[in-house]
Amino acid sequence: MTFTESPERRQLRDAVAELAAKYGHEYYLDKARGGGHTSELWDEAGRLGYLGVAVPEAYGGGGAGIGDLAAVCEEFCAAGTPMLLMVVSPAICATVIARFGTDDQKARWLPGFASGQVRMSFAITEPDAGSNSHRITTTARRDGGDWVLSGRKVFISGVDEADAVLVVGRTSDARTGRLKPALFVVPTDTPGLEYRAIPMDLVSADKQFELLLDDVRLPADALVGDEDAAIAQLFAGLNPERIMGASFSLGIARYALDKAVRYARERSVFGSPIGAHQGLAHPLAEIKIELELAKLMTQKAAAIYDSGDDAAAGEAANMAKYAAAEVAVRAVDQAVQVHGGNGLASEYGLGTMVAAVRVGRIAPVSREMILNYVAQHSLGLPKSY
- Which tens digits make up the pLDDT trace of 90-111? 999 999 999 999 999 999 999 9
User: Once rounded to an integer, what is the mean pLDDT over residues 77-98?
Assistant: 96
Contact by Cβ (8 Å): 302, 324: no
Residue 281 has pLDDT above 80, yes or no: yes
Residue 375 has pLDDT above 80, yes or no: yes
Read off the DSSP letter of residue 290. Answer: H
Average pLDDT, the chain: 94
- Which pLDDT does position 177 carry in this prediction? 60
Equal CATH topology for 122-225 and 231-378: no
pLDDT band, residue 73 (cuts 50/70/90): very high
Reduce the DSSP state of residue 47 to 3 states and report it.
Answer: helix
| Residues 7-118, CATH architecture | Orthogonal Bundle (1.10)
pLDDT band, residue 284 (cuts 50/70/90): very high
All structural domains of the chain with their residue ranges: 7-118, 122-225, 231-378
- Which pLDDT does position 174 carry in this prediction? 58
Q: How far apart are CA 214 and CA 191, in angstroms?
A: 9
Chain-centroid distance of CA 59 in Å reads 23
Burial of 312 (0-12, 13-18, 19+ CB in 10 A): middle
| Fold of the domain built from segment(s) 231-378 | Butyryl-CoA Dehydrogenase, subunit A; domain 3 (1.20.140)
The CA angle 338-339-341, to the nearest 5 degrees, is 125
- Which pLDDT does position 175 carry in this prediction? 62
Contact by Cβ (8 Å): 180, 170: yes
CA distances from 282 to 55, 260, 332, 334, 336 (A): 42, 12, 15, 11, 15
- Which pLDDT does position 105 carry in this prediction? 96
- Which pLDDT does position 331 carry in this prediction? 98
- Which pLDDT does position 301 carry in this prediction? 97
Q: How far apart are CA 161 and CA 256, in angstroms?
A: 28
- Cβ contacts of 178-182, under 8 Å, gap ≥ 24: 179/139, 180/227, 180/228, 180/230, 181/133, 181/136, 181/230, 181/231, 181/234, 182/140, 182/223, 182/224, 182/227, 182/230
Phi first, then psi: give them for residue 128, nearest 5 degrees.
-105, -5
- Which pLDDT does position 384 carry in this prediction? 85
- Which pLDDT does position 1 carry in this prediction? 62
| Residues 122-225, CATH architecture | Beta Barrel (2.40)
Q: How far apart are CA 214 and CA 217, in angstroms?
A: 9
Burial of 307 (0-12, 13-18, 19+ CB in 10 A): exposed
pLDDT band, residue 176 (cuts 50/70/90): low
User: Once rounded to an integer, what is the mean pLDDT over residues 248-257?
Assistant: 98
User: Once rounded to an integer, what is the mean pLDDT over residues 271-289?
Assistant: 97
Reduce the DSSP state of residue 173 to 3 states and report it.
Answer: coil
Residue 316 has pLDDT above 80, yes or no: yes
**Cis-peptide into 111, omega within 30 deg:** no
Reduce the DSSP state of residue 305 to 3 states and report it.
Answer: helix
- Which pLDDT does position 347 carry in this prediction? 92
User: pLDDT tens across 196-239, in order?
Assistant: 999 999 999 999 999 999 999 999 999 998 777 667 777 778 99
